[in-house]
């Protein structure tokens, strides 16, 4: 089955076409036939499409909205120049999977999209005002351009965390805020953490209930997930992705009283302060230079910039703090796994996060940590380490494709 996986972000559309079925999934031989990205939807967009091992297209063109973006993807898929293996017309796409950011309490697993589901995604709009509307526009655009009979499936970034117990997801504020406004911890990056759980299970040849790991997704956005018995038990992002670790431009955990204090002292509105915490804080806020970890590491090494060094140290300390907290919550873990742009690619950051964790049972092998190509899947702890450490590159698209296959083939039966 050829599956179009679509990720409509707040101003971009990413896609992959993945060929998968039961045999491929069992043999882990699912194949990415093509992928692409349209950035700056709503203006002069940057388009880059690539058919695996064949063609590649890069251009700037005005793309007004998500409908035009999906149309541009469809045109490319059908054009003879794209040369995508097995795809000649839109009828060679058998189902579409959408990464939907927020499923609220309504969607605890992936689901075939119909009118009710669309309304449900709309109902969660307040919880993800930038992302859920973009996801809905993507769903409608696919229906218009690929036809109403093509199965579309929603895979939610919050769903993996729906197994968190109340003790993990409730905030200790008056209970009626949960009852009336659904204020609770939802968690994000669920599809990425689910992939890590799935991949770890395959690599170790164990059953799901034996997957007791801590997954660290470290990228521009970062989160940690305590996975117990293959299920999310706790995670660092909360009501919104602002909670938890230090991120590229997000503060992560802070004392909420700071908000009132800044408002009072600086005359800033609540909206301005929340925007500052989301867009001007984190690595960027502390360093005053950049939100990009690779650039910060270069600054630290070349210019010995004090604040670049401080930003990285705080990032690593907070990650280590969550590892410690989750080890305590879970009563120990078998492994910790690093993923995301920083987690999979930076031996230095992995080393700095794990420094001093030896008494807790985790010893990195510095050779294995530094060896290997960028993002290469491998063990990076010593053979004696009681808790193992792994690098596993993120692959959210694969989880979405397999979910789509599962639901779309069940629909057919
Ligand atoms: P997003 O959360 O937007 O998907 P990514 O997972 O791609 O982001 O992560 C982007 C981050 O990964 C950036 O801070 C980038 O500097 C960092 N990164 C990528 N490669 C490396 C590397 N080799 N060393 C250190 N950081 C890296």
Looking at the structure, do residues 259 and 364 belong to the same domain, yes or no? yes
Nearest to 349 by CA among 384, 378, 314: 314
Q: pLDDT tens digits, residue range 211-253?
A: 999 999 999 999 999 999 999 999 999 999 999 999 999 999 9
With a 6 Å cutoff on the Cβ, whether 342 touches ligand 1 is: yes
- Report the residue among 12, 290, 342 best suited for mutation to probe ligand 1: largest number of ligand atoms under 8 A from its CB: 342
- Co-location of 142 and 227 in the same domain: no
Q: Does any domain span residue 161?
A: no
Q: Is the pLDDT of residue 388 over 80?
A: yes
* Per-residue pLDDT, 350: 98
Q: Could you tell me if 151 and 217 lie in one domain?
A: no
CA distance 69 to 324: 44
Position 196 in a domain: no
Distance 342 CA to ligand 1 centre (A): 4
Contact between residue 197 and residue 336 where contact means Cβ atoms under 8 Å apart: no
Q: Among 134, 156, 178, which residue terminates a domain?
A: 156
Average pLDDT over residues 145-153: 96
Is 188 among the domain residues?
no
> What tens digit of pLDDT does each residue of 24-63 get?
988 889 999 999 999 999 999 999 999 988 879 999 999 9
Whether residue 219 has its Cβ less than 6 Å from ligand 1: yes
Domain span at 314 = 207-391
Is 177 within the bounds of a domain? no
Q: Which residue has the higher pLDDT, 376 or 327?
A: 327
Q: How many Cα atoms within 13 Å fall on the side-chain side of residue 231? A: 11
* Cβ–Cβ < 8 Å for 46, 38: yes
What is the average pLDDT score of the chain? 96
Tokens of 385: 């380490």
The answer, yes or no, to whether any atom of ligand 1 lies below 6 A from the CB of 345, is yes
Which residues are within 8 A (CB) of 344 and not within 5 positions of it... i.e. 6 or more apart?
338, 374, 375, 391, 392, 393, 394
Of the CA atoms within 13 Å of residue 181, those in its CB half-sphere come to 13
Confidence of residue 10 (pLDDT cuts 50, 70, 90): confident
Residue 411 pLDDT > 80: no
77: pLDDT confidence band, cut at 50, 70 and 90?
very high
Tell me what pLDDT residue 188 has: 96
Indicate if 139 and 236 belong to the same structural domain. no
Same domain, 138 and 277: no
How far apart are the CA of 392 and the centre of ligand 1, in A? 14
Are 336 and 222 members of one domain? yes
d(CA 130, CA 112) in angstroms, rounded, equals 23
Which ligand 1 atom sits closest to the C-alpha of 222?
Answer: 2
Q: Of ligand 1's atoms, which has the minimum distance to the CA of residue 218?
A: 6
Let me know whether 221 and 336 are in one domain: yes
78: part of which helix (H) or strand (E)? helix 66-78
Mutation test residue for ligand 1: of 294, 316, 348, 350, the one with most atoms within 8 Å of CB: 294
| 57: β partners | 49
What does the pLDDT read at residue 131? 86
> Which residue numbers are catalytic?
157
Percent of the chain with pLDDT over 70: 100
Query: Above 90 in pLDDT, residue 413?
Result: no
Is 406 within a domain?
Answer: no
**Residue 125: predicted pLDDT:** 86
Per-residue pLDDT tens digits for 177-219: 999 999 999 999 999 999 999 999 999 999 999 999 999 999 9
Nearest residue (by CA) to ligand 1, atom 23, is 345
Q: Is 139 a domain residue? A: yes
Say whether both 132 and 264 belong to one domain: no
C-alpha to C-alpha distance for 39 and 47, rounded to whole angstroms: 7
Claim to verify: residue 353 and residue 247 sit in the same structural domain: yes
Find out whether the beta carbon of 113 lies less than 6 Å from any atom of ligand 1.
no
Partner residues linked to 16 by β-bridges: 5, 35
Gap from CA of 177 to ligand 1 centroid (Å): 36
Pocket of ligand 1 contains residue 201 by CB under 6 Å = no
The secondary structure of residue 101, as a DSSP letter, is S
Q: How many domains are contained in the chain? A: 2
Predicted pLDDT of residue 198: 96
User: Measured from the CB, is residue 370 less than 6 Å from ligand 1?
Assistant: no
Q: Determine, yes or no, domain membership for 179.
A: no
Taking a C-beta distance cutoff of 8 angstroms, is the pair 191, 110 a contact? no
If pLDDT is split at 50, 70 and 90, which confidence band does 129 have? confident
216 lines ligand 1 (CB under 6 A): no
Query: Do residues 146 and 216 both lie within one domain?
Result: no
Q: What CATH number is attached to the domain comprising 130?
A: 3.30.420.40
Cβ–ligand 1 contact at 248 (below 6 Å): yes
Q: Is 221 in the pocket of ligand 1 (CB under 6 A)?
A: yes
What pLDDT is recorded for position 328? 98
Cα-based distances in Å from 38 to 34, 189, 396: 14, 21, 18
Q: Is the pLDDT of residue 143 over 90?
A: yes
Taking the CA of residue 101 as centre, how many other CA atoms within 13 Å lie in the half-sphere pointing to its CB?
24
pLDDT for 187 equals 97
pLDDT in tens, 268-290: 999 999 999 999 999 999 999 99
Residue 340 alpha carbon to ligand 1 centre in Å:
7
Residue 109: band (very low, low, confident or very high) from pLDDT cuts 50, 70, 90 = very high
Interval between CA 65 and ligand 1 midpoint (Å): 27
Residue 304 and residue 278 in contact, taking contact as beta carbons nearer than 8 Å: no
What is the Rg, in whole angstroms, of the alpha carbon atoms belonging to the chain?
Answer: 22
- pTM of the full structure: 0.95
Q: 318 and 226 in one domain?
A: yes
Q: SS3 breakdown of the chain: % helix, strand, coil, rounded to 5?
A: 45, 20, 35
Rounded distance from Cα 210 to ligand 1 centre (Å): 30
pLDDT digits (tens, 9 = 90+) for 315-328: 999 999 999 999 99
- Between CA 48 and CA 220 the distance in angstroms is 21
Structural domain contains residue 220: yes
User: Do 102 and 242 belong to one domain?
Assistant: no
């Amino acid at each position: 089955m050829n599956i179009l996986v679509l990720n409509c972000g707040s101003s971009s559309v990413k896609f992959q076409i993945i060929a998968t079925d039961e045999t491929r999934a069992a043999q882990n031989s699912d194949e990415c036939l093509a992928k692409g990205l349209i950035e700056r939807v709503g203006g002069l967009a940057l388009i880059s499409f690539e058919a695996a091992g064949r063609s590649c297209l890069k251009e700037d063109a005005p793309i007004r909205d998500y409908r035009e973006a999906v149309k541009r993807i469809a045109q490319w898929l059908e054009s003879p120049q794209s040369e995508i293996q097995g795809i000649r017309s839109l009828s060679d796409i058998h189902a579409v999977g959408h990464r939907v950011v927020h499923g609220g309490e309504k969607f605890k697993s992936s689901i075939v999209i119909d009118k009710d589901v669309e309304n449900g995604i709309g109902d969660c709009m307040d919880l993800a005002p930038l992302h859920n509307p973009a996801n809905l526009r993507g769903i409608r655009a696919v229906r218009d351009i690929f036809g109403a009979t093509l199965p579309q499936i929603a895979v939610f970034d919050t769903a993996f965390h729906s197994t968190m117990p109340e003790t993990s997801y409730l905030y200790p504020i008056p209970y009626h805020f949960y009852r009336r406004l659904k204020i609770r911890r939802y968690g994000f990056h669920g599809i990425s953490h689910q992939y890590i759980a799935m991949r770890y299970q395959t690599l170790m040849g164990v059953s799901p209930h034996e997957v007791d790991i801590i997954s660290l997704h470290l990228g521009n956005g970062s989160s940690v997930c305590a996975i117990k018995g293959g299920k999310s038990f706790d995670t660092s992002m909360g009501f919104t992705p602002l909670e938890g670790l230090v991120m590229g431009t997000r503060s992560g955990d802070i004392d909420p009283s700071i908000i009132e204090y800044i408002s009072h002292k600086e005359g800033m509105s609540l909206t301005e302060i929340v925007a500052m915490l989301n867009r001007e804080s984190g690595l960027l806020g502390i360093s005053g230079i950049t939100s990009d970890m690779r650039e910060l590491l270069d600054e630290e090494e070349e210019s010995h910039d004090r604040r670049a060094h401080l930003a990285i140290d705080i990032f690593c300390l907070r990650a280590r703090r969550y590892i410690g907290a989750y080890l305590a919550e879970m009563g120990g873990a078998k492994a910790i796994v690093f993923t995301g742009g920083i987690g999979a690619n930076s031996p230095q950051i992995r080393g700095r996060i794990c420094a001093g964790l030896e008494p807790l049972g985790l010893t990195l092998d510095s050779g294995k940590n530094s060896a290997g190509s960028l993002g290469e899947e491998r063990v990076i702890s010593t053979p004696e380490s009681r808790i193992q450490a792994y690098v596993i590159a993120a692959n959210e698209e694969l989880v979405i494709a397999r979910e789509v296959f599962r639901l779309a083939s069940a629909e057919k039966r």
